[in-house]
């Protein structure tokens, strides 16, 4: 199947968009921003601690029987 005019136009537009985004990202505003620890990070740490405790309790329970 040979490429048609529409396919060529779509691919050219796609290429221009990709190039424009890459140039924007390359030469865009690079102001440093302070990253704050969000509450979600601490919640994730609490989840991980709870999972570790649960696994520990399961191992202890399995050893008891």
pLDDT band at 9 (very low <50, low <70, confident <90, very high): very high
Strand runs labelled E in 1-65 = none
Supply 24's token pair: 């924007």
pLDDT band at 46 (very low <50, low <70, confident <90, very high): confident
Domain region containing 54: 5-28+35-64
pLDDT of residue 40: 67
pLDDT band at 64 (very low <50, low <70, confident <90, very high): confident
pLDDT of residue 17: 97
**Alpha carbon distances (Å) from 40 to 25, 33, 44, 45:** 28, 19, 6, 9
How far is it, in rounded angstroms, from Cα 50 to Cα 56?
10
**Alpha carbon distances (Å) from 51 to 4, 40, 46:** 57, 16, 9
User: Domain total for the chain?
Assistant: 1
Q: Is residue 38 over pLDDT 70?
A: no
């Amino acid at each position: 199947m040979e490429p048609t005019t529409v396919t060529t136009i779509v691919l050219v537009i796609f290429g221009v968009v990709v190039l424009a985004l890459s140039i924007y990202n390359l030469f865009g505003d690079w102001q440093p921003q302070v990253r704050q620890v969000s509450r979600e990070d601490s919640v994730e740490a609490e989840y991980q601690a709870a999972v570790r405790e649960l696994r520990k309790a399961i191992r202890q329970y399995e050893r008891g029987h």
